Structure 1
Amino acid sequence: MIDPSALMGPLWTLLAFVGLGWIATRRLAIDPRPIATLLIYLIAPMTFFRGLVLGGPTPQFLLFTAALFGLASLIAITVNPIARRFFAPQESALLAFSSGTGNTGYFGLPIAMILLPPEEVALYLFCLLGITLYEFTVGFYLSARGQFSVRESLAKIARLPLIYAFIAALAVSGLGIDPPDALMDSLAVFPATYTLLGMMIIGMTLGRVTIREVDLRFILGCVAVRYGLWPLLALAAVWLLQSMLSLPAELGLALLLLGVVPMAANVVVVAMELGIKPEKGALAVLVTTLAAPLLIPFYLQGLMRLTGL
């Protein structure tokens, strides 16, 4: 069983990073847009290149990456036309993007490192990668289509370096290239920076929010997908795998964790980069993030009982 107290420290630390971002904007007048650009074009690619090279891609790991990419894309493509019926183009695009992802990286990865042994953390990272690839391909396209043409949206995706970082990491591993220790050591600063700035940017965006940005319908839609649909899908995925093979408890826990994290901070990052209602996205992310310290232990324990883990 999971001891909820073991999660409280990391969860509240991550929320403290959000508070630091709010202070940075309110007191220091820091503009979060350049930080969003840094996250997308530099810090995220470096973080995932390092993680993939160290994790050592295997066919099993890449299968989970493909499965999570497919699931996230399917959810977003399904939610997109439904959202268009109830929201304006920019809000519907943002809701569709958020429906396919969660804060599996900035938020979920530190928790996975507490709950899982190192070898299963590597598997979690490859599952996370599938969702991240969705964010910067299908999800980015759906978000861009709320404001840009098909051609412009595809052009923006082609400029995203995370896709090329993924290909480069696969090439390095596939060719048996051993990167110099000095290089890998220098890249070790990026994961912590990725988490810190990813959470701070939520607070930075909230520091610019006014009362007119509060959209209860949008927030409720995001909460319903993140804490309603995703836990059920994670539960169904574990049940399906249990019926097909002998599923290790750690792998089952990794999959369940993917389903119970709050909304992705990258909702704010991508919305800010594309200029599509980042303040509304930040409010929805904040609500689900504030609920996380209470809901994650509750959800995980309940889902573990239902799956017999």
Structure 2
Amino acid sequence: MSDIKKGHVRKTMKLKTRKTLIAYSFLTVPLLFFLCIRIFPTLYAFSLSFSPENRSGFTLDNYIHLIHDKVFWRSAVNTLLYVAITVPVQIAIGMILALAINKVHRLQGFYRIVYFIPYMTSIVAVSWVWRLMYDPNTGFINEMLSWFHIPPQGWLTDPSEALISVSMMMIWQAMGFCMLIFLAGLKAIPKQFYEAAQIDGAGKWRMFWSITFPLLNPTIIFLAVTGVITALQTFTQIQNLTASSSGDAGGPLNSTSSIVIYMYNSAFNDFNMVYASAITVALFILILIVTFIQLKVLSKNFED
């Protein structure tokens, strides 16, 4: 009897070992893909940033040049401006839209689709449509302003308006995503809280600030963190809205250039991959610092 039990245990162990090996074999493929596509290029770019232009040796010249590079600092300031302008506005509009749609009983799905379509649409296609609308001579936006006797604006051709123009397009495209996430957060709030608040005589504003807003804190943190990371890596919108005939984007006068745009111009227009790698490392450090501070500040405020 003991031999039968031992044989059964042995077979069970072999079966578990076989299942474990199969599981690890399935995990090996995505792990190798992640190492080859993510980890290795990251380490290679980091090592390349410490190389001189001939790619031999070790030097800090690229980072010293970066510190004294006025275009880089202008791009860094622009990147932070994109974050400061787009993220709060798109979250605020997304919350307002979600609150409004959540109160609608008819055609709620239709309104969700309408506001979410810009997020699903190709960024390149949307950017070119907005570029045509921003055209100072034939654009629809200036045509619409003329109805109200407002003089035409330069939009993407005016250094003082170009960054705001790009930000408006980014907000318009991302607010639908924020709306959808907020709707999911609103659906997760138990209705019993609102019923108890109504019994206590609380008004709509009181219920919003005491129930809805606090319970949407995890949603706000998620949208804030993902929105900041996305804004720090802004590229496609700027590239398609501001690219000149020579291929350089970020104009006019670097007024819309972000760190990613400057990195792209350095790598593929100036063919300076070494310096572009240094810019990439600087962007990585910036994203790491901003995300860490953001998580600390938001989490602390919401806990209080």
**TM score, norm. by length of structure 1:** 0.28
Normalized per residue, the structure richer in helix is: 1
